[in-house]
């Protein structure tokens, strides 16, 4: 072998050795990279496995606490009670047999001469008399108590119910003894025998229990019930904001609901179930007030916690029976 060939062979061998060395280094680096990659992959997987785990369904301990039904309805307006809506309502009462019943106010309509204190432009209804109102209200209480003889019943005075007292005061020129005497004779709560019936009546101008800033209102468990002084387009949101607690109210004749909460994790809601009278009242004349028929149902636990639901009555039919039948 010539010197030139030998030199060429040595150079080639050196290049091969360098390549082999480079290959070994690359293989070591690749192996190290694979180890690092596996370690990072494991860290990533461990990171995905959070320490928090979704709890499994908890089995109830011992016997379940009993719950009961609470029903709130209102704005029946005496002789203006809608027959179909009322039939649907009492049909549901027969199935529910609630422990507590709350009338949210306006038991009577008190139209005609009893509405004379209203502002200019008000159209007083004269199709029915006060005697008609009282007769209808008595029939209403008769049917409710026949279906729910064991229920605790509460009645809140509405603005229409209060018309009688206002009329008595104006007719006696504000003489207290005379107005009180006349009112005792004509008071709707007396003519419908609420005390004898065992129905608790809450006056619009009196404060009851812990509701110091909201006269004519009651608190049952963890929910307030009232007939507010006024109404607005989105009144449920206003009620939730003003009250700061669960509240069911009448007066607006409009089914409504608004949930609220604060930064401390407390949450509450305001409900308006609608009315059970005819939805087209003469004193609204040509205005469209978007009135709805229905009532409010609460499923109440012994702790006072509850699920509140507005039950609509559409075209004289309640679909609560269909719901209960499907459960």
Q: Which residues of 142-172 are buried (b: 16+ CB within 10 A; e: fewer)?
A: eebbebbeebebbbbbbbbbbbbbbbbbeeb
Q: Are the C-beta atoms of 228 and 251 separated by less than 8 Å? A: yes
Tens-digit pLDDT profile for residues 299-325? 999 899 999 999 999 999 998 977 776
Residue 291 has pLDDT above 70, yes or no: yes
| C-alpha span between 27 and 213 (Å, rounded) | 82
Residue 326 has pLDDT above 90, yes or no: no
Is-above-0.85 flag for pTM? no
- CATH for the stretch 67-326: 3.60.21.10
Domain ranges of the chain: 67-326
């Amino acid at each position: 072998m010539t010197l030139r060939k030998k030199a060429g062979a040595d150079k080639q061998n050196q290049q091969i050795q360098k390549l082999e060395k480079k290959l070994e280094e690359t293989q070591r680096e690749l192996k190290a990279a694979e180890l690092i990659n596996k370690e990072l992959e494991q860290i990533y997987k461990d990171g995905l496995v959070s320490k928090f785990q979704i709890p499994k369904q908890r089995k109830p301990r011992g016997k379940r606490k009993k719950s009961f039904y609470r029903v709130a309805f209102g704005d029946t307006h005496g002789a203006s009670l809608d027959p179909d809506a009322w039939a649907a309502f009492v049909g549901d009462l027969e199935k529910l047999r609630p422990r507590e019943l709350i009338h949210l106010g306006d038991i009577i309509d008190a139209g005609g001469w009893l509405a004379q204190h209203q502002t200019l432009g008000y159209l007083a209804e004269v199709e029915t008399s006060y005697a008609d109102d009282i007769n209808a209200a008595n029939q209403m209480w008769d049917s409710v108590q026949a279906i729910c003889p064991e229920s605790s019943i509460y009645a809140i005075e509405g603005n229409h119910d209060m018309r009688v007292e206002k009329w008595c005061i104006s007719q006696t020129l504000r003489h207290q003894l005379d107005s009180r005497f006349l009112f005792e004779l004509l008071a709707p709560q007396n003519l419908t025998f609420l005390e004898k019936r065992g129905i608790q009546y809450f006056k619009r101008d009196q404060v009851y229990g812990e509701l110091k800033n909201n006269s004519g209102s009651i608190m049952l468990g963890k929910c307030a019930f009232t007939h507010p002084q006024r109404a607005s387009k989105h009144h449920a949101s206003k009620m939730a904001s003003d009250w700061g607690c669960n509240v069911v109210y009448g007066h607006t004749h409009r089914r409504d609901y608004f949930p609220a909460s604060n930064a401390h994790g407390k949450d509450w809601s305001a409900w308006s179930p609608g009315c059970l009278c005819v939805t087209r009242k003469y004193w609204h004349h040509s205005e469209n007030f978007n009135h709805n028929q229905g009532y409010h149902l609460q499923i109440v636990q012994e702790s006072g916690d509850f699920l509140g639901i507005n039950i609509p009555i559409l075209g004289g039919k309640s679909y609560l029976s269909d719901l209960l039948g499907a459960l």
